[in-house]
């Protein structure tokens, strides 16, 4: 009886457990939604479940090889910084619409940002100018990133920011 119950309860518990886009390792934050491939806002492949992260140069980085980093002011600090960039920037035109952007950052061993990729729903009203502005804002954070572990290799960070 217990074996039958465990057979059904364990998969349900696993399916209902919350998914964390940035836990111990960098993961495709959309893989839990059934997507096999994630594209950035430019339409270039960003992530493939069977491969991992795909750089702008076409190199494949396995999720297990990407070391996590954190912003010096924490997750909320990064969100606050991105909010201030948007609401104080030239692209803000006081339109009332909600949108989310997922920021994907790749760092090299010196903790300098190597590339910034943005992903958002295809129905998003985000202009190319706003995308470029966000990328510029993120590159201005160089020097403010820390590694939880001093490992060698490539570092990564992913966070979704929502604007109202």
Query: Could you list the mean pLDDT of each consecutive 10-residue stretch along the chain, which spans 164 residues?
Result: 46 34 49 72 90 93 90 94 90 77 92 94 80 95 88 88 87
Residues in contact with 92: Cβ distance below 8 Å, sequence separation at least 6, in sequence order: 86
Q: How many CB atoms lie within 10 A of CB 53?
A: 26
Q: How many Å apart are CA 131 and CA 41, to the nearest integer?
A: 8
Strands 99-107 and 45-48: unpaired
Query: Cα–chain-centroid distance for residue 109?
Result: 19
| Cα dist from 112 to 44, 69, 101, 118, whole Å | 23, 11, 21, 18
Helices 128-139/74-87 angle, 10° precision: 130
Q: Is the pTM of this model over 0.85?
A: no
User: What's residue 24's pLDDT?
Assistant: 38
User: What's residue 10's pLDDT?
Assistant: 40
End-to-end CA distance of the chain: 51
What is the SS3 assignment for 26? strand
Which pairs from 108-112 meet CB under 8 Å and 24+ separation? 108/154, 108/155, 109/152, 109/153, 109/154, 109/155, 111/69, 111/143, 111/145, 111/146, 111/147, 111/155, 112/142, 112/143
User: What's residue 27's pLDDT?
Assistant: 62
User: What's residue 12's pLDDT?
Assistant: 37
User: What's residue 63's pLDDT?
Assistant: 86
Joined tokens for residue 107:
């760092």
């Amino acid at each position: 009886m217990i074996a039958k119950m465990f057979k059904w309860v364990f998969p349900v518990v696993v399916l209902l457990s919350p998914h964390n886009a940035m836990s111990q390792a960098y993961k495709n934050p959309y893989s839990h939604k059934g997507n096999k491939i994630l594209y950035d806002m430019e339409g270039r492949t960003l992530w493939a479940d069977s491969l991992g992260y795909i750089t702008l140069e076409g190199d494949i980085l396995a999720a297990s090889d990407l070391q996590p980093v954190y912003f010096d002011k924490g997750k909320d600090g990064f969100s606050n910084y991105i909010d201030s960039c948007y609401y104080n920037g030239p692209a803000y035109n006081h339109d009332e619409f909600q949108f989310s952007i997922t920021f994907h950052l790749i760092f090299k061993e010196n903790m300098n940002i190597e590339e910034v990729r943005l992903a958002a729903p295809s129905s998003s009203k985000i202009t190319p100018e706003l995308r470029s502005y966000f990328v510029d804002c993120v590159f201005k954070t160089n020097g403010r990133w820390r590694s939880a572990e001093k490992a060698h290799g490539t570092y990564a960070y992913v966070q979704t920011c929502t604007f109202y």
